[in-house]
Amino acid sequence: MEKEIKSSDYVYHLPDDRIAIHPLEQRDHAKLMVYAQGKITHQHFYDLPALLPSDAALFFNDTKVIPARILFHKETGAQIEVFLLQPLQGDLPVQLAMQSKHNTQWLCTIGNLKKWKEGTTLYINRNDLTLSATLKDAKSGEVDFSWSPSDWSFAEVINHFGNTPLPPYLHREADENDKNRYQTVYSELEGAVAAPTAGLHFTDRVLQQIQAKGIPTDFLTLHVSAGTFQPIKTENALDHDMHSEQIIVTRKNLESLLQKNRKIIAVGTTSMRTLESLYWYGVKLIQTGPQPFQIGQNDPYKHNLGILPPREAAFTEVLQQMGSEDYLVGHTSIFMVPGYRFKVCEGLITNFHQPGSTLMLLVAAFVGDHWKQLYDAALQNGYRFLSYGDSSLLLPKN
Quick: pLDDT tens for 25-58: 999 999 999 999 899 999 999 999 999 999 999 9
**Do residues 242 and 382 share a domain?**
yes
Task: Give CA–CA dist 111/294, Å, rounded.
Answer: 30
**Do residues 318 and 362 share a domain?**
yes
Instruction: Give the residue-averaged pLDDT of 112-128.
Output: 93
Spatial CA neighbour of 247 closest among 184, 181, 308, 318:
318
Per-state percent for the chain, helix, strand, coil, to nearest 5 = 30, 30, 40
The residue among 121, 137, 163 that closes a domain is 163
Spatial CA neighbour of 167 closest among 266, 287, 286, 83:
83
**Do residues 225 and 366 share a domain?**
yes
Task: Give CA–CA dist 351/197, Å, rounded.
Answer: 7
Quick: pLDDT tens for 335-357: 999 999 999 999 999 999 999 99
Spatial CA neighbour of 131 closest among 109, 154, 111, 108:
154
How many domains are there within the chain? 2
Question: Does residue 385 lie in a domain region?
Answer: yes
CATH number at residue 297: 3.40.1780.10
In terms of Cβ atoms closer than 10 Å to its own Cβ (0-12, 13-18, 19+), residue 4 is exposed
Say what the pLDDT of residue 77 is.
87
**Residues with Cβ < 8 Å from 39, sequence gap 6 or more?**
none
**Do residues 261 and 113 share a domain?**
no
Band of residue 306 on the pLDDT scale cut at 50, 70, 90: low
Task: Give CA–CA dist 325/22, Å, rounded.
Answer: 41
**Do residues 196 and 317 share a domain?**
yes
Question: Does residue 168 lie in a domain region?
Answer: no
**Do residues 309 and 390 share a domain?**
yes
CATH number at residue 80: 2.40.10.240
Question: Does residue 175 lie in a domain region?
Answer: no
Range of lowest pLDDT (56-70, 158-172, 246-260): 158-172
**Do residues 227 and 296 share a domain?**
yes
Q: Is 42 within 8 Å of 33 (Cβ atoms)?
A: yes
**Do residues 32 and 114 share a domain?**
no
Band of residue 398 on the pLDDT scale cut at 50, 70, 90: low
Q: 34-39: long-range contacts (C-beta < 8 A, 24 or more apart)? A: 34/392, 34/393, 34/395, 35/367, 35/370, 35/374, 35/392, 35/393, 35/394, 35/395, 35/396, 36/393, 36/395, 37/395, 37/397, 38/370, 38/397
pLDDT for residue 263 is more than 90: yes
Range of the domain at 82: 69-163
Say what the pLDDT of residue 141 is.
95
* Residue 141 backbone phi and psi in degrees, to 5: 80, 25
Mean pLDDT of the chain: 94
